[in-house]
C-alpha cells in the first residue's frame, strides 16, 4: 500500500471537490488517498478518500488573526494536515522549530501531520542537501511523536517540472528512513513530493523507501490524479 496525498494549495471549489470525490468512488485501489484542501472545503464528505488541511497554527486559540487551530481542523472531520510545506517555509518563514510546534499541536488534536523537509537550490549547490534533510527530520518532528508522515520535497524542483534522478531520490529517502529509525520512528511513511505526475509516479514509488507521493497540481483533476493513484499498489 502506498499513500497518495494531493495538495490543492489555494485552488478548488466545492464543486471541484465533489466531482473528485465522486470520481474516486469508482477507483479500485489499496492505496490510501488523502486530499489536502483549502480550509473552507474541509467539511466536505470524503467518500473513499481522507480529507486534510494544508497548514495549522501552533497556537490553541487567541488573538492570532487569520490562523486556524488544530482543534478547529479536527472538528471538521479532517484527519491529516501538512506542516512545513516548502511554500510555508519560504513565504511564512516557517522554521524547523515552528514546524515542530505545529506538528505537536496537530498530534494533540488527533490529526496526523505530514511533515515536509527538503533543500533549496542554493543549499543543493552548496552541497548541503543531506545535512538540511537530516536536520529537518530531527528538528521538525516532535520527540514523542508516533503517528506522523514525512514528505521529502526537493524545494528546487517544486513547480519547475524538474524531477531529481532516481539515485538522488533514493539517497534522500534512505537518509530519512535511517534517521527516523535512529529516532525510534522505524516504519514511518516517507512520501516524495515535487513535480509528481501520472507519467513518473510509478517509477518514483518503485524506489526504495518511497512510501507514496505528495502531489500538487496533478491532484486537482480526476483525469490527472487517478492515474497516479492506480499506477502502483
Choosing from 15, 153, 168, 203, which is the catalytic residue?
153
Choosing from 22, 59, 61, 85, which is the catalytic residue?
85
Question: Active site includes 85?
Answer: yes
**DSSP assignment letter at 40:** G
Long-range contacts of 120-128 (CB under 8 A, 24+ apart): 120/155, 120/156, 121/155, 121/156, 124/154, 124/156
Q: Which three cell numbers stand for residue 224?
A: 490527472
Q: Which three cell numbers stand for residue 137?
A: 527530520
Sign of the four-CA dihedral 178, 180, 186, 191 = negative
Task: Provide the 3-class DSSP secondary structure of residue 166.
Answer: helix
Question: Active site includes 153?
Answer: yes
Which residues carry out catalysis? 85, 153
Amino acid at each position: 500500500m502506498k499513500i497518495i496525498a494531493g495538495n490543492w494549495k489555494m485552488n478548488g471549489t466545492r464543486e471541484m471537490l465533489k466531482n473528485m470525490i465522486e470520481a474516486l468512488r469508482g477507483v479500485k485501489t489499496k492505496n490510501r488517498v488523502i486530499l489536502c484542501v483549502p480550509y473552507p472545503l474541509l467539511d466536505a464528505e470524503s467518500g473513499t478518500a481522507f480529507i486534510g488541511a494544508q497548514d495549522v497554527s501552533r497556537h490553541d486559540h487567541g488573538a492570532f488573526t487569520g490562523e486556524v487551530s488544530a482543534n478547529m481542523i479536527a472538528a471538521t472531520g479532517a484527519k491529516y494536515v501538512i506542516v512545513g510545506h516548502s511554500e510555508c517555509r519560504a513565504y511564512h518563514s516557517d522554521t524547523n522549530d515552528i514546524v515542530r510546534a505545529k506538528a505537536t499541536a496537530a498530534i494533540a488534536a488527533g490529526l496526523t501531520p505530514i511533515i515536509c523537509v527538503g533543500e533549496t537550490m542554493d543549499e543543493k549547490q552548496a552541497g548541503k542537501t543531506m545535512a538540511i534533510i537530516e536536520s529537518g527530520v530531527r528538528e521538525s518532528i516532535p520527540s514523542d511523536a508516533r503517528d506522523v508522515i514525512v514528505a521529502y520535497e526537493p524545494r528546487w524542483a517544486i513547480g519547475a517540472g524538474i524531477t531529481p534522478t532516481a539515485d538522488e531520490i533514493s539517497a534522500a529517502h534512505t537518509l530519512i528512513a535511517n534517521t527516523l529509525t535512529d529516532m525510534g520512528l522505524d516504519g514511518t511513511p516517507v512520501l516524495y513530493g515535487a513535480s509528481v505526475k501520472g507519467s513518473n509516479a510509478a517509477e518514483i514509488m518503485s524506489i526504495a523507501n518511497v512510501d507514496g507521493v505528495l502531489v500538487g497540481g496533478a491532484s486537482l483533476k480526476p483525469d490527472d490524479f487517478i492515474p497516479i493513484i492506480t499506477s502502483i499498489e
